[in-house]
Amino acid sequence: MALDDETFGLLKESVHRFVRDRLMPAEDHVEERDEVPQEIIDDMKNLGLFGLSIPEEYGGIGLSMAQECQVAYELGHTALAFRSVVGTNIGIGSQGILMDGTPEQKEKYLPEIASGDLIVAFALTEPDAGSDPASLKTRGVLEGDDYVLNGNKRYITNAPRAGAFTLMARTDGPGPNGISAFIVPANIDGISLGKPDKKMGQRGTKTCDVNLDNVHVSKDNIIGGIPGRGFKTAMKVLDRGRLHISALACGMADRILTESVLYAQQRKQFGQRIGDFQLIQAMLADSQAEILAGWSLVQAVARRYDAKPFGSFDPEVSMQASCAKMFTTEMVGRVADRGVQIHGGAGYINEYKVERFYRDVRLLRLYEGTTQIQQLVIGKHLMRAA
Ligand code: COS
């Protein structure tokens, strides 16, 4: 699945312009009001952003992973809250259905996900199951033709906006093989949302708890119709998500570097531009080289991801996606830190963008698997191969 080069070039150019003309001017609004304006969400729908990864037969644009990464790189150049509005529909919310869903489930949900009329969130994490999702406690008990779901999900991105959840629950014994993935409509009895999480950064990104109290869903809502496959579905979805986040990290690093260069060109001390001092240039150079290394890595791994059969698990590619996430999200942390340093005192003041980007990027090293989880995936793979 991929868009032809010419059409993709036009799309990428449209997203590039949209980021500069529409999103960047709204960054202060998002920061001050902690919301993404509805008009912008409507524009995102019109641009097709919700359906980037959904095949054309379901009304999406049908990008390959390599193409999706290029669009994520563009979206990474502005406040990360904008990307988060579309992020779950492009990635962790929709991909389980696309990879492992039945034809009926795909027909039913993917067109609305692609158009953005249905926001779908990914509900894996729980109060006691984050890095170790195989220990999750939300239960699904079969009663007649329905599963009855009970439990709590935590830090669920886009939950306040969601019309449905891709939700993992335990339908059998302990461990990964007892977990099933469900499609759960958000408006059914027994679902309630926690209060909005107050976060360090990424203002405008909406997360909260999702509580399930005797929620009845049909057994037909198990993704793929077969219980016990939910853990693997979730892991495959996360492999893909980790690449998308890596591209986003590179885009944001590039934006921070641009802000830093502009500041270094304008700010004068000791009678000259601070960018003319070699100690400032060294920081800029380190950031530029690391961004190039990270972005090259992401593109290479995305191409390998595209080369394997869609929805399959390739441990080598999975390990490489973890390498990309580990390297790029740590890298953007260093770039943001240097960005603040180059700005000096101004780097600590909210009206300069690097202050908020510094806070925004901190999350990238945490969600969709912490750096330490990526190290674990890489290390385990190497030890198995040896
Ligand atoms: N894709 C498909 N299947 C996978 C997979 C992947 N990426 N990774 C593992 N599996 C399979 C394994 O092959 C194994 O299958 P078998 O039982 O058939 O052998 C099964 O899943 C269990 O794998 P494993 O024993 O490696 O599972 P662990 O519980 O040890 O967990 C880690 C492995 C740590 C990698 C996993 O728990 C993880 O990624 N944790 C982080 C979760 C996360 O990112 N949370 C963020 C929340 S979402 S924002």
Give yes or no: residues 148 and 187 share one domain.
yes
Residue 355: closest CA among 368, 336, 369: 336
- Catalytic residues, by residue number, are 368
Residue that is last in its domain, among 115, 141, 166: 115
Residue that is last in its domain, among 177, 194, 227: 227
pLDDT at position 277 is 98
Distance CA 382, CA 386 (A): 6
Residue 308 backbone dihedrals phi, psi, to 5 degrees:
-90, 160
Q: From the CA of 134, give the closest atom in ligand 1.
A: 29
Is the CB of residue 80 below 6 angstroms from any atom belonging to ligand 1?
no
Report the percentage of the chain scoring pLDDT > 90: 99
Cα of 377 from ligand 1 centre, angstroms: 8
Question: What's the whole-number mean pLDDT along residues 330-351?
Answer: 98
Protein residue with least CA distance to atom 36, ligand 1? 132
Give yes or no: residues 109 and 125 share one domain.
no
pLDDT at position 173 is 95
Q: Which domain holds residue 56?
A: 5-115
CATH of the domain at 89: 1.10.540.10
Residue 325: closest CA among 302, 306, 303, 309: 302
Residue 101: closest CA among 235, 184, 230, 223: 223
In Å, how far are 261, 284, 286, 345 from 268, measured between CA atoms? 13, 17, 22, 14
pLDDT at position 385 is 79
Give yes or no: residues 378 and 291 share one domain.
yes
Give yes or no: residues 174 and 207 share one domain.
yes
Question: Does the pLDDT at position 1 exceed 90?
Answer: no
Is the CB of residue 157 below 6 angstroms from any atom belonging to ligand 1?
no
- Which amino acid is located at 380 in the chain? K
Which residues 6+ apart lie within 8 Å of 204 measured at CB? 30, 31, 33, 34, 35, 36, 79, 81, 82, 84
Is the CB of residue 369 below 6 angstroms from any atom belonging to ligand 1?
yes
For residue range 265-313, what is the model confidence (pLDDT) as tens digits? 999 999 999 999 999 999 999 999 999 999 999 999 999 999 999 999 9
Which residues 6+ apart lie within 8 Å of 298 measured at CB? 69, 73, 243, 246, 247, 250, 324, 328
Distance CA 14, CA 28 (A): 22
CATH of the domain at 372: 1.20.140.10
Give yes or no: residues 97 and 190 share one domain.
no
Give yes or no: residues 235 and 381 share one domain.
yes
Cα of 132 from ligand 1 centre, angstroms: 9
| Full-model pTM | 0.97
